[in-house]
Amino acid sequence: MKFFGLLVIVSILLSGCKKSDPLPASLKLEQDTIQVDTLYIEDSPRQFDVEFKNAGDQDLRIFDVFSSCDCVKADEYPTSVIKGNNSGNIKFTINVSNYTPCEFCQTVFISTNTFDSPVPLTFKGVVRKK
């Protein structure tokens, strides 16, 4: 009978020692606002690489990267799965050739399989003539 009681106690203690659930996929940007400083109309377009990390354990998928204007476009982004704790980058082109000098602030949205999708990313700077 003592053995049976000991067996019950040990099984209860071990049942609380299960492996924790994996963390869901999570897209983490190095920065959520990119300071592009001065964008010269004559030097347009310009390219920018933005690095990100899947801060979760589960697979991250990027479905789309979209903007409300044609001046910021995602040229390349991973279409395959980004495993947990791995990194990747998105290549953007900013074209201000049709702009007049002004403050520049445009937000793009990264559509993913994460809970906080779409993830916003803002580019800020100043558009000038040389």
pLDDT in tens, the chain (130 residues): 555 555 545 455 555 555 567 889 999 998 999 999 899 999 999 999 999 999 999 999 999 999 988 999 999 999 999 999 999 999 999 999 999 999 999 999 999 999 999 999 999 999 999 9
Question: What does the domain layout of the chain look like in residue ranges?
Answer: 21-128
Query: Which pair of structure tokens corresponds to residue 108?
Result: 């793009």
List C-alpha distances in Å: 42 to 48, 94, 127: 17, 12, 10
Phi, psi of 47 (to 5 degrees): -105, 150
As its CATH architecture, domain 21-128 has: Sandwich (2.60)
